[in-house]
Structure 1
């Protein structure tokens, strides 16, 4: 089973954004050392507690401090941008870091309505225009337009020796069908979805339309996972991200609380019900327990690769979680 990392660059209650971003770089370095296939970093706007609003800047920094791990966006929020500019950015990265760049594409706002308005005058219109934008982006990445297209003589320079690998990210039937239609690899965000992931992925596999000879569909499933030496320790560490998610749902929580702070938060019956639902969508436990559940999910979803989101208050706990999972998966 391939394993990868999705980093949201969380800011803990005792951290600055600078420190959080440097921890992201360390995570990519250690992920490379431990055998993870790829490291993606997410794009968020004006969301308290998340440090990365510009993935391409971080990818330059991370690429310069790693050697072999694939790196990419998880995701570029395409409705905000012109496909040509996105292609230029990721072609530039693919030129600097050959055969290592992924370009994950998403349609979510990634922040508040105010942030969406500040970034784009026509966000909702561009969401509806997503299929056309994806098609245009793919043409620029492949450096190939139809002979009658207005951009047939336009290149997204520099043209790298190996183009960035395009992925479509989503949580719905619509995104799965679009990925299949465009012949793109598909990443399903199980960690942020209540939809039937196995059914959605099956629709992708059933309708996939290869764009070149020998091309096969490719699936990543992204899940929340927290691992420690024991189940009890993992549950203790996970409390920080669980309470933080609860606070964010209430419009609170500017940073990931410590375990002590999380324990002190007053919870009512409704909060406990919400926490119960959250934990159903998380993998928490010892290395053997986590790997067992990852294998079960990979089999159920027919995933080629599992991508892990791990948020803890302590950077050391986060690194340890990824390390323990890798050691159990690759060196049992």
Structure 2
């Protein structure tokens, strides 16, 4: 089974954004040593407890401290940016770190309405134009605009020997159809979707059009996982991240991921308890053998080519341990 890492660079209570970002670098290095295929870092804007608004900056830092693991954005939020600027940036990264760069493209705002307005103009209009913007991005990367196009003589320099891999990220049929129509790889966010994931994955594969980007469908499944030596330990560790997720959605997560002890003392309301149960159903929590079997089951259900794991814990050492236990159970056999 091919495994990868998705990192949101979370800040734990009592720590700083600087520490969280350094821990992201440590996670990428550890993932490389353990045999994970790729490391992606997410883009968020003014969301309490998340420290990375600029994946491209983090990728330069992480690329310089790693040797072989593929690194990328999960995702670049295209409606906020001009396609040319994205192509230039990721071509530069691909020149610095050959055969290692991925561009995951998403359409979400990545923050509040106010943050979106501060970041870009006419966001909803740019979402509507996303298929056209995505076309422009692919043309800039491949330097193949038609000769009569306004940008036919514009180069997204520097030109790397090997182009970045392009992925569409999403949780809906719309994103699946975009990836299929444009002939790119697709990453489905199981961890943040309430939709019929396997059917969306099938929609992507059924409608896939072979292109110069990839010759056949490629599917990554992104899943939230917490693994520990025992399932009881994993459940305790996971509780703090679930509480934090509830707090963030309520606009109260500015203190960062709470400790397990804080989560145990917290009095969940009936509504919060319902949210907790829903989250548990989307997550994989357990000891290494349980986690392995559930990942195998999900991979078969989706017919995924790769599983991308997101793990958030209060203690960064518990996050590293979770990835280590999974790798030892799956990647070393």
TM range (shorter): over 0.9
TM superposition score normalised by structure 1: 0.99
Match of 1:276 in 2: 277
**Cα distance change of structure 1 residues 324 and 75 upon mapping to structure 2, 3 Å threshold:** same
Match of 2:159 in 1: 159
Cα distance in structure 1, aligned partners of 2:214 and 2:311 = 35
Contact 2:166 2:213 in 1 (8 A): no
Match of 2:247 in 1: 247
**Cα distance change of structure 1 residues 152 and 214 upon mapping to structure 2, 3 Å threshold:** closer
Q: Which runs of 5+ in 1 are unaligned?
A: none
Cα distance in structure 1, aligned partners of 2:119 and 2:324 = 37
TM superposition score normalised by structure 2: 0.98
Deviation at 1:148, TM superposition (A): 1.7
Match of 1:145 in 2: 145
Match of 2:287 in 1: 286
Match of 2:120 in 1: 120
Specify the SS of the correspondent of 1:147.
Answer: coil
Q: Which runs of 5+ in 2 are unaligned?
A: none
Match of 2:258 in 1: 257
Q: Deviations over 1:32-78 (max 9, x none)?
A: 00000000000000001000000000000000000000000000000
Deviation at 1:167, TM superposition (A): 0.2
Q: Deviations over 1:95-116 (max 9, x none)?
A: 0000000000000000000010
Structure 2 matches for 1:106-255, cutoff 5 A? Answer: 106-212=106-212, 215-254=215-254, 255=256
Cα distance in structure 2, aligned partners of 1:185 and 1:312 = 29
Deviation at 1:325, TM superposition (A): 0.3
Q: Deviations over 1:107-136 (max 9, x none)?
A: 000000001000111111000000000000
Cα distance in structure 2, aligned partners of 1:314 and 1:233 = 13
Cα distance in structure 2, aligned partners of 1:95 and 1:331 = 31
Cα distance in structure 1, aligned partners of 2:213 and 2:15 = 49
Structure 2 matches for 1:291-330, cutoff 5 A? Answer: 291-330=292-331
Q: Deviations over 1:218-254 (max 9, x none)?
A: 0001010000001001001001101111112222121
Deviation at 1:213, TM superposition (A): 9.8
Cα distance in structure 1, aligned partners of 2:275 and 2:163 = 43
Q: Deviations over 1:232-285 (max 9, x none)?
A: 010010011011111122221211001111112111222211111110000000
Match of 1:90 in 2: 90
Contact 2:220 2:305 in 1 (8 A): yes
Contact 2:48 2:251 in 1 (8 A): no
Question: Is 2:9 the partner of 1:5?
Answer: no
Deviation at 1:300, TM superposition (A): 0.5
Cα distance in structure 2, aligned partners of 1:13 and 1:132 = 42
Specify the SS of the correspondent of 2:50.
Answer: coil
Root-mean-square deviation (Å): 1.0
Specify the SS of the correspondent of 2:257.
Answer: coil
